[in-house]
Structure 1
Amino acid sequence: MKQEIDFIKFNPTQNMTILVKSNHPIEEYKHIATKMMSYDNVNAEQVGFIEKSNKEEADAHLIMAGGEFCGNACMSLAAFIASEKGLDQDALAELRLEVSGTDKLIMCQVKKMADEYLCQVAMPVPNEIEKRTIKHDGCDLDVILVSYQEFTHIVIEVEQFDKWNRDKAQRLAKLFGSTLKANLVGILLYKSHSAELAPLIYVPHLDSMIWERGCGSGTASLGAYLAWKNKRGVVAQIKQPGGTIKVMADCYKEVLVSLKIEGSVGIVAQGKAFIGV
Structure 2
Amino acid sequence: MLFRDPALEREKRSACSEMMNGFTLHKFDAGGNPTVLVDNVSGGIHGGNYPEVARNILNNKGLGGVDQVGFIEKPQREGPDGRMVMMGGELCINALRCYGGFLASQRQLTAGNFSIETSGVDTPILVTVRSEEGITISKVQLDCVPVVSIADDVYTVDLPGIRHHIVFTPKPLSKVELRRRLANMACHHHLEFEAIGMIAISPFNGSFLISPLVHVLATRTSIMETSCGSGSLAAYLVLANSVGMTQTKLWQPSGECLEVEEVGRHTYSVEGSVFPIFTGSFLFEGSTGYSGLVIDGSAKFV
TM-score, normalized by the shorter chain, greater than 0.5: yes
Structure 1 CA distance for aligned equivalents of residues 77 and 246 of structure 2: 33
Instruction: Name the SS for the 1:195 alignment partner.
Output: strand
CA RMSD of the aligned region, Å?
A: 2.2
Aligned to 2:112: 93
Aligned to 1:19: 37
Query: Within 5 A, what are the aligned runs for 1:41-80?
Result: 41-42=62-63, 43-80=65-102
Structure 2 CA distance for aligned equivalents of residues 149 and 72 of structure 1: 14
Instruction: Name the SS for the 1:73 alignment partner.
Output: helix
Q: Does residue 1:37 correspond to 2:66, yes or no? A: no
Aligned to 1:137: none
Greater displacement, 66-75 / 175-184: 175-184
Q: 1:154 to 1:162 in 2, by over 3 A?
A: closer
Structure 2 CA distance for aligned equivalents of residues 124 and 221 of structure 1: 14
Q: Does residue 1:180 correspond to 2:180, yes or no? A: no
Give 1:170 deviation, angstroms.
Answer: 0.4
Q: 1:115 to 1:208 in 2, by over 3 A?
A: farther
Q: Does residue 1:271 correspond to 2:288, yes or no? A: no
Identity across matched positions, percent: 24
Q: 1:41 to 1:176 in 2, by over 3 A?
A: farther
Higher Cα radius of gyration: 2
Give 1:190 deviation, angstroms.
Answer: 0.2
Aligned to 2:166: 155
Equivalent position to 2:105, from 72, 78, 83: 83
- How many residue pairs get aligned? The number is 259
Equivalent position to 1:118, from 126, 137, 141: 137
Give structure 1 stretches of 5+ with no counterpart: 134-141
Equivalent position to 1:261, from 260, 270, 275: 270
TM-score (norm 1): 0.86
Aligned to 2:6: none
Structure 2 CA distance for aligned equivalents of residues 115 and 230 of structure 1: 35
* CA displacement, residues 18-66 of structure 1 (integer Å, 9 cap, x when unaligned): 1011331111111111111113343411100001112212111110011
Q: Does residue 1:169 correspond to 2:178, yes or no? A: yes
Give 1:173 deviation, angstroms.
Answer: 2.5
Aligned to 2:23: 5
Give 1:114 deviation, angstroms.
Answer: 5.5
Aligned to 1:235: 247
TM-score (norm 2): 0.79
Give 1:230 deviation, angstroms.
Answer: 3.7
